[in-house]
């Protein structure tokens, strides 16, 4: 059977090589999103910039990969291009190496089918005057190499939910080291991670990223996902973003999406919040269509969710589609939370459709 030791990285062995001089070169890890919503990456060598300055996306070479191996292109026309869009310090190779987030483009000069960023970026630019802020809450479950949630008995189930949410102590939480390492990796890379907590189902955790402005939200959340998978790899753990990893009386996993505009954040902002919610109501189905695969298993109206077929909203209501935080209702301005997106949704699709619904399509 696969053991942790046979799969986890040998950090002590690698440590001897960490401080070797790179002789004026750096490693750039190009990251992209594949057909299934996983991140993929590969490395290339670049010249170090003078005085160790960090590259801008525009300065970095466009690269490519074999799209037939990732389900992103047919075998007879398989080159997919990687266009750098954001650069971050690499926490796995400090101090001067970089992570490069990229968009996928086809050879004919059109965005790849799975490139949801391109449309999103256009919407963000068109409606930039509203100064959209987003904050996403990424829930996920840590699995062992046999796809069992960490710490769950081999046969049967843990004791019912209750002690695990924000739990402290053995028997309540597992794999906190991964959460801690991911938190630090995010801070090092410059991800605006705003916090973490243990979730209601044992082996389930959450981190939040935000507030981020416009397209930065999708970029940062995808980078944070990459970092989480990469950190968990070192601990021989799998990260699942399945919205209902365990059927039955166990909470699912979401990607609650908090949103505000300049108007909503000012005194009297509640009328803009209510207007936005009305617009969201009129396009409920279109939103659900891009809010993640398998979300119908999660949005049952139980376990702190609204039902998938009905749009509801309320102050401090965790059983609604949209929640207005108590504090915002009391102040009369602030933000609201769209609780519908599933943990596996694409943040570019979520933030894009929120902008489109509130402020109009690019061609309107
Ligand atoms: P919850 O109470 O739903 O668990 P969290 O604290 O987990 O909320 O996450 C709230 C998220 O909302 C954070 O990412 C935070 O940065 C973000 N946020 C806070 N204020 C705003 C705002 N005005 N506009 C958009 N997002 C915001
Ligand atoms: Mn090759
Ligand atoms: Mn939360
Ligand atoms: Mn949560
Ligand atoms: Mn929430």
d(CA 316, CA 231): 34
At residue 106, the 3 state secondary structure works out as strand
The phi-psi region of residue 308 (left if phi > 0; otherwise alpha if psi is between -120 and 50; otherwise beta) is alpha
Is the CB–ligand 1 distance for residue 210 below 6 Å?
Answer: yes
Confidence of residue 77 (pLDDT cuts 50, 70, 90): confident
Q: What is the pLDDT of residues 269-288, one digit of tens each?
A: 999 999 999 999 999 999 99
Confidence of residue 9 (pLDDT cuts 50, 70, 90): confident
- Which of 137, 253, 262 best tests ligand 1's pocket when mutated (most atoms within 8 Å of CB)? 137
Closest ligand to 256 CA? 5
Q: What are the CA-CA distances from residue 162 to residues 172, 206, 217, 363 (Å)?
A: 9, 16, 32, 49
Give the per-residue pLDDT at 364: 63
Closest ligand to 204 CA? 4
Q: Measuring CA to CA, which residue among 363, 358, 364, 362 is closest to residue 281?
A: 358
Q: How far is the centre of ligand 1, averaged over its atoms, from the C-alpha of 348 (Å)?
A: 17
For 264, phi and psi rounded to 5 degrees?
A: -70, -30
Closest ligand to 66 CA? 2
d(CA 345, CA 65): 24
Q: What is the pLDDT of residues 302-355, one digit of tens each?
A: 989 999 999 999 999 999 999 999 999 999 999 999 999 999 999 999 999 999
Is the CB–ligand 1 distance for residue 323 below 6 Å?
Answer: no
Q: How far is the centre of ligand 2, averaged over its atoms, from the C-alpha of 45 (Å)?
A: 16
Please report the atom of ligand 1 found closest to the CA of residue 337: 3
Ligand 1, atom 1, lies closest to the CA of: 137
Q: What is the pLDDT of residues 159-215, one digit of tens each?
A: 999 999 999 999 999 999 999 999 999 999 999 999 999 999 999 999 999 999 999
Contact 299, 308 (CB under 8 A): yes
Please report the atom of ligand 1 found closest to the CA of residue 264: 23
d(CA 234, CA 178): 9
Paired residues of 323 in beta bridges: 314, 337
Q: Measuring CA to CA, which residue among 299, 182, 319, 326 is closest to residue 243?
A: 299
Alpha helices in 27-77, H assignment, sequence order: none
d(CA 131, CA 144): 41
Rounded mean pLDDT of the chain? 95
Is the CB–ligand 1 distance for residue 134 below 6 Å?
Answer: yes
Instruction: Please state at what angle helix 176-189 crosses helix 216-234, rounded to 10 degrees.
Output: 140
DSSP H or E stretch at residue 13: helix 11-18
Closest ligand to 200 CA? 4
- Which of 195, 196, 211, 253 best tests ligand 1's pocket when mutated (most atoms within 8 Å of CB)? 211
For 86, phi and psi rounded to 5 degrees?
A: -155, 145
| DSSP state string for 184-234 | HHHHHHT--EEEEEE-SSTTEEEEEEEEEETTHHHHHHHHHHHHHHHHHHH
The model's pTM is: 0.97
Ligand 1, atom 8, lies closest to the CA of: 137
Q: How far is the centre of ligand 5, averaged over its atoms, from the C-alpha of 184 (Å)?
A: 22
> What residues pack around ion ligand 4 (CB closer than 5 A)?
206
Q: How far is the centre of ligand 3, averaged over its atoms, from the C-alpha of 15 (Å)?
A: 36
Asked if this assembly's ipTM is beyond 0.95, the reply is yes
């Amino acid at each position: 059977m696969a053991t942790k030791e046979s799969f986890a990285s040998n950090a002590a062995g690698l440590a001897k090589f960490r401080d070797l001089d790179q002789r004026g070169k750096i490693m750039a890890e190009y990251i992209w999103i594949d057909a299934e919503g996983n991140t993929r990456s590969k490395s290339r060598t670049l010249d170090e910039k003078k005085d160790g300055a960090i590259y801008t996306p525009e300065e970095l070479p466009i690269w490519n990969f074999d799209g037939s191996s990732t389900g992103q292109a047919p075998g007879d026309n398989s080159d997919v291009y990687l266009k750098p869009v954001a650069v971050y310090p690499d926490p796995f190779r400090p101090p001067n190496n970089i992570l490069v987030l990229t968009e996928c483009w086809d050879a004919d000069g059109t965005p790849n089918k799975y490139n949801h960023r391109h449309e999103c970026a256009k919407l963000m630019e068109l409606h930039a005057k509203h100064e959209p802020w987003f904050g996403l809450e990424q829930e996920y479950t840590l699995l062992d190499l046999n796809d069992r949630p960490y710490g769950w008995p081999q046969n049967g189930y843990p004791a019912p939910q209750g002690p695990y949410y924000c739990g402290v102590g053995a028997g309540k939480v597992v794999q906190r080291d991964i959460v801690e390492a991911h938190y630090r990796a995010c801070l090092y890379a410059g991800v605006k991670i705003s916090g973490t907590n243990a979730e209601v189902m044992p082996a389930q955790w959450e981190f939040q990223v935000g507030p981020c402005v416009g397209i930065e939200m999708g970029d940062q959340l995808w980078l944070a996902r990459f970092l989480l998978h990469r950190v968990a790899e070192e601990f021989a753990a799998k990260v699942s973003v399945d919205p209902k990893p365990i059927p039955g009386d166990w909470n699912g996993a979401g990607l609650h999406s908090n949103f505000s505009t300049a108007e909503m954040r000012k005194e009297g902002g509640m009328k803009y919040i209510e207007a936005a919610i009305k617009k969201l109501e009129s396009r409920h189905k279109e939103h659900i269509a891009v809010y993640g695969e398998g979300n119908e298993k999660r949005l049952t109206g139980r376990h702190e969710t609204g039902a998938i077929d009905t749009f509801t909203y309320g102050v401090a209501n965790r059983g609604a589609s949209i929640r207005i935080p108590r504090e915002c209702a009391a102040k009369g301005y602030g933000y609201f939370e769209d609780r519908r997106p599933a943990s596996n949704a694409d943040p570019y699709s979520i933030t894009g459709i929120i902008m489109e619904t509130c402020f109009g399509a690019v061609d309107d």
